[in-house]
Amino acid sequence: ETILVSELANRMAERTPDVIKSLMRMGLMVTGNQAVDADTAELVIDEFGHRAVRVSDSDVEQVIDQVQDKAEDLRPRAPIITIMGHVDHGKTSLLDAIRKANVVSGEAGGITQHIGAYQVKTESGALLTFLDTPGHAAFTSMRARGAHVTDIVVLVVAADDAVMPQTVEAINHAKAAKVPMIVAINKIDKHGADPQKVRTDLLQHEVVVEAMSGEVQDVEVSAKTGKGLDNLLEAIALQSEILELRSNPDRAALGAVIEAKLDVGRGPVATVLVQNGTLKRGDIFVVGEQWGKVRALINDKGERVDEAGPSVPVEVLGLDGTPAAGDVLNVVSTEAQAREIADYRIKAAKDKRAAAGAAITLDQMLAKAKADQNVAELPVVVKADVQGSAEAIVQALEKIGNDEVRVRVLHYGVGAITESDIGLAEASQAPVIGFNVRANAPARNSANQKGVEIRYYSIIYDLVDDIKAAASGLLSAEV
Ligand code: GDP
């Protein structure tokens, strides 16, 4: 019973180097392509604050069966890219321009379908997979469901507008997910475009681009004229090489749902991004609480294909129900097994809902921090009524800490607590702190559903005191 270190990281939505570091602290010297046994894996999972899901005996067997990739079986795979940035800065335009440029240079007559993701080939021959849903809401909700589908974030910043609130949100989301960024400075065709302002603005958010002697690649583009698009694609290909993304095409598929719908003519349809292995027609699979047998696979050009390998997005037909975006797909050997796992998950989800109110409280985070022998981070999301308070709170929180615990502000901003804040908090298991602001109704519902804790304050002293107490282990169980 073993699992590959890179696979373990993938399943936890953590970075492989972080998992390797954690194993090193346990005295194990391994690389991402080596395997560890199930018990060690469970220790690591605990250390990262996740729960090991030994769903059922058959599931465990199956899952472990699937992770026997040997280093020599691993092949390079295309990177998966999400475009983020402030509204109107050109995310959709950029996605369209990249797709169109490629259709022209690619196969003639290929009419691209919107299936939630598409692949392009760069001039130098690298394949890139773009998620077609720009923005951080989708990114964060997928991550909250455990699907780690983005390898690279392209941060679009309009050169005539520079860094805006959602630019900052996007930066924080990418950082929280530990996904590398490339900055696309867009709209350079416009009068009044000031790319340099974008670069200096970004410095304030600790994004230092190459043009400022930093390490984050920055590329000037125009989604309108197409200028710089090639450079952007090559920058992505370069970043991808650095990441050394690898997977094994010769095994049962593992993938993530990026979109799903109930189609009148075709029944439930899910777009799946294969993350490892190859998905084939006739494969039996379980995906979240659904299962099925692949009846047809349709690629991003609307063509029927027999199989889809790593990083290839395909529409999957043959599901018994509609899964959710972020659900993980596993190919299994028998229908009985698929049905059993799906049933088990339905029941488990029901149990979980029954145990509602199981919020991620400061106390639980503290317990987690204590279990961890190293410096633990207490992640928080802060929203306040005015910028001055928000900054004062962040400064005060960042000062808290000792050798064991440190507070990490994932994101802060001005205004009501929104669903986006809840999504980010859930993905990082953080509470949301509201200072003189409330959560709006959708955010409250979402927090209830996801078990995210919201704490309200109107006195900075109280707020800092509470967090300090939590951080130093003085907070009693009354939270
Ligand atoms: P999104 O909200 O980030 O997806 O932004 P959109 O892609 O919808 O673009 C917002 C507006 O900016 C639209 O009117 C686009 O036509 C325009 N736009 C996007 N990219 C460029 C560009 O490179 N140059 C110019 N001049 N306009 C652009």
User: Is the distance from the beta carbon of residue 189 to the nearest atom of ligand 1 less than 6 Å?
Assistant: yes
Residue 437, phi then psi, degrees to nearest 5: -135, 160
pLDDT of res. 109 = 46
pLDDT digit string (tens) for 184-227? 999 999 999 999 999 999 999 999 999 999 999 999 999 999 99
- Enter the DSSP assignment of 217: -
Nearest atom, ligand 1, residue 223 CA: 23
pLDDT at 474 over 50: no
Whole-angstrom Cα distance, residue 435 to residue 51?
A: 31
Contacts of 69 (CB under 8 A, 6+ apart): 4, 7, 33, 247, 248, 251, 276
Question: Which of 186, 83, 77 minimizes the C-alpha distance to 130?
Answer: 83
* Confidence grade of residue 478 (pLDDT, cut at 50, 70, 90): very low
CA 216 from chain center: how many Å? 19
Whole-angstrom Cα distance, residue 172 to residue 153?
A: 11
Q: Which residues pair with 292 in a beta bridge?
A: 285, 319
**Is there a contact between 260 and 271 (Cβ–Cβ < 8 Å)?**
yes
Mean per-residue pLDDT, 224-245:
95
Pairing type for strands 80-85 and 152-158 reads parallel
- Return the amino acid letter for 41: A
Contacts of 460 (CB under 8 A, 6+ apart): 389, 392, 393, 396, 435
Computed over every residue of the chain, the mean pLDDT equals 84
Query: What is the full DSSP assignment across 280-332?
Result: ETT-EEEETTEEEEEEEEE-TTS-EESEE-TT-EEEEEEESS---TT-EEEEE
Q: Whose CA is nearest to atom 18 of ligand 1?
A: 90
* Confidence grade of residue 306 (pLDDT, cut at 50, 70, 90): very high
Question: Which of 132-146, 153-167, 267-281 is predicted least confidently?
Answer: 132-146
* Confidence grade of residue 55 (pLDDT, cut at 50, 70, 90): low
- Enter the DSSP assignment of 225: T
Mean per-residue pLDDT, 271-290:
93
Pocket test for ligand 1, best of 87, 93, 194 (most atoms within 8 A of CB): 93
pLDDT at 230 over 70: yes
pLDDT digit string (tens) for 290-303? 999 999 999 998 89
Whole-angstrom Cα distance, residue 310 to residue 275?
A: 5
Higher pLDDT, 161 or 5: 161
Burial class (CB in 10 A: 0-12, 13-18, 19+), 132: buried
Whole-angstrom Cα distance, residue 9 to residue 6?
A: 5
User: Is the distance from the beta carbon of residue 135 to the nearest atom of ligand 1 less than 6 Å?
Assistant: no
CA 154 from chain center: how many Å? 13
pLDDT at 136 over 50: yes
Higher pLDDT, 14 or 80: 80
Nearest atom, ligand 1, residue 225 CA: 23
User: Is the distance from the beta carbon of residue 361 to the nearest atom of ligand 1 less than 6 Å?
Assistant: no
pLDDT of res. 68 = 66
293 has binding-site annotation = no
User: Is the distance from the beta carbon of residue 224 to the nearest atom of ligand 1 less than 6 Å?
Assistant: yes
Mean per-residue pLDDT, 151-168:
95
87 has binding-site annotation = yes
The strand order across the sheet containing 405-414 reads 405-414, 376-384, 432-435, 454-457
Residue 222 alpha carbon to ligand 1 centre in Å: 9
Question: Which of 322, 314, 469 minimizes the C-alpha distance to 400?
Answer: 469
**Is there a contact between 165 and 137 (Cβ–Cβ < 8 Å)?**
no
Q: Whose CA is nearest to atom 10 of ligand 1?
A: 88
Q: Look up residue 467 and give its two tokens.
A: 């967090």
Q: State which of 146-150, 178-182, 355-359 shows the largest mean pLDDT.
A: 178-182
> Within a 13 Å sphere around the CA of 110, how many CA atoms are in the beta-carbon half?
20
CA torsion sign, 68 to 71 to 72 to 76? positive
Largest Cα–Cα separation, the chain? 67
Residue 244, Ramachandran bin (φ over 0: left; ψ between -120 and 50: alpha; else beta)? left
Whole-angstrom Cα distance, residue 376 to residue 347?
A: 33
pLDDT of res. 64 = 39
Higher pLDDT, 107 or 141: 141
- Enter the DSSP assignment of 13: T
pLDDT at 360 over 60: no
Q: Look up residue 185 and give its two tokens.
A: 């400075």
* Confidence grade of residue 404 (pLDDT, cut at 50, 70, 90): low
pLDDT digit string (tens) for 37-52? 878 888 888 888 776 6
Q: Look up residue 48 and give its two tokens.
A: 């990262």
Q: How far apart are the first and last CA of the chain?
A: 40
